[in-house]
Amino acid sequence: AQKVTQAQTEISVVEKEDVTLDCVYETRDTTYYLFWYKQPPSGELVFLIRRNSFDEQNEISGRYSWNFQKSTSSFNFTITASQVVDSAVYFCALPGRGYNKLIFGAGTRLAVHP
């Protein structure tokens, strides 16, 4: 079955620290896509990234980077030099079979303190 596990419930860091959010997934599909969404305190869900299983290259976007490792079924998210504005809940997600939905992990709440 399709499943996403985010084992870290909460992480607390001090500003400027680097932080990595873990995501482990299970899928029966041979090709698939993985997503990260951010939910700031205001509550909306903000799309961050989509990666497909063809491409295991790490991706960097400013202070954000993603490490996709098919061998360990992981798609980890690193924030470099964290800032208070990064405080949010971060969700990893995987399409369900048939691509009619996204399956979200439980989320990791990140608190960045000044």
Partner 1 sequence: EPEVTQTPSHQVTQMGQEVILRCVPISNHLYFYWYRQILGQKVEFLVSFYNNEISEKSEIFDDQFSVERPDGSNFTLKIRSTKLEDSAMYFCASSRDRGATPNTGELFFGEGSRLTVL
Mask for 10-39, x = binds partner 1 (CB under 8 A): -----------------------x-x-x--
How are beta strands 3-5 and 33-39 bridged, if at all? unpaired
Calculate ∠ Cα 76-82-83, nearest 5°. 135
Rounded to whole angstroms, the Cα distance separating 112 from 13 reads 5
Which one of 28, 30, 41, 44 is in contact with partner 1 (CB under 8 A)?
A: 44
Mask for 52-91, x = binds partner 1 (CB under 8 A): x-x------------------------------------x
Which pair of structure tokens corresponds to residue 21? 């959010």
Is residue 102 at the binding interface for partner 1, with CB under 8 A as the rule? yes
* CA quadruple 72, 108, 81, 34: dihedral sign: positive
- Binding-site ranges for partner 1 (CB under 8 A): 33, 35, 37, 42-47, 50, 52, 54, 91, 95-96, 98-107
